[in-house]
Amino acid sequence: MVKRQTLCIMTRGTIITLLLMAAIVGCRPRPTTPQPGLSPVTSPFLSPIATPKSDAGRLLFHSNRAGNYDIYMLDIETGEVSRLTDSPDHEIEPALSPDGTRIAFARTRFNPRGQDIYVMNTDGADPERITYMKDSIAMCPDWSPDGDEIIFYATRASHFHLFAVSPERGEVREIPSSPQNDMMPDWSPDGTRIVFASDREGRGELYVMSPDGSNLQRLTDSMMDEWRPRWSPDGNYIVFQGNYTGHWELYLLNIETGEIERLTDGSEESREPYWSGDGRLIYYAHEEQGGYNLYVLDLEQRISRQLTNTPGVEDGYPVWVGR
């Protein structure tokens, strides 16, 4: 039996989301050994490390520690956590604007059921709905480097497709895609490409294309699923979560060579990676104690340390904010 994987975080009680999860994740067999060409790390996993200088910043993340999913801010140095949203809905999947003044996120709708993209100030004030995706689930917003558009994916005709919306005007455009599921987009640092996951070949693989949908290129080709890609700040690497070992671990793709390196090696799942601003660290969610906590991985040492400790709840989707 395949372990549960949420595509971003699916809203509880949303029937269409559960059906789509079942369709996408399904019961496909998982090989129990890594694919050829992977380089597992040999460093100890989840061992304490000294706090790197670049780790002295803040993280956005979402959590259900108060019941509903809300968006929080973590001061990495002090461990202090501030709650930014507090509504009867679920607020999830934060994304920081390039100028650092606004946060895009997804919020559920209970009447009618669905989910849309919102934008608010970094202190949680003035949330504004910018999409009106009727009878749809909109997820995983990501800002363009110039801040002019927010890319996301949403359900349409029982599949996920990619869209972009202007945060100022609310104009939504659909990015040409396949009739299958295109998901989890992430804009390249120079704004010329978008990486995303798709099951258009029958399983989750990574692709890259221009923002208008042209110049499609397939990046991975394995018997496993690759999800949630994130560009490195220099644009040379993509970190993603892959199911090569029977559960989700983090992997690093060298875009130029195509080489894939395994970053984590644990008995539980690691997922939802995000880079620090200098590209030295990767923040992620790690499964333990009946939930998920936030961790940081030092890429030079290949050793991780724990940032939050919330047994039985889910802290996830970390986004590095800086100081």
Closest CA to 182 of 12, 17, 24, 4: 24
Report the SS3 class of residue 65: strand
Closest CA to 79 of 308, 283, 322: 308
Number of neighbours of residue 15 by Cβ within 10 angstroms? 8
Q: 275 vs 225, which has greater pLDDT? A: 275
CB contact at 8 A, 314 and 292: yes
Q: What are phi and psi of 315, to 5 degrees?
A: -95, 125
Place 1 in a pLDDT band, splitting at 50, 70 and 90. very low
Q: Is the pLDDT of residue 17 over 80?
A: no
Q: Is the pLDDT of residue 150 over 60?
A: yes
Q: Is the pLDDT of residue 154 over 90?
A: yes
Does residue 289 come out as left (phi exceeding 0), alpha (psi in the -120 to 50 range) or beta? left
Number of neighbours of residue 61 by Cβ within 10 angstroms? 27
Can you give the pLDDT at residue 266?
A: 83
The separation between the first and the last C-alpha atoms of the chain, rounded to the nearest angstrom, is: 42
Place 48 in a pLDDT band, splitting at 50, 70 and 90. very low
pTM across the whole model: 0.85
Domains of the chain plus CATH, in order, are 175-307 (2.120.10.30)
Q: How many Å apart are CA 75 and CA 56, to the nearest integer?
A: 8
- Mean pLDDT of all residues in 103-125: 90
Percent of the chain scoring above 70 in pLDDT: 82
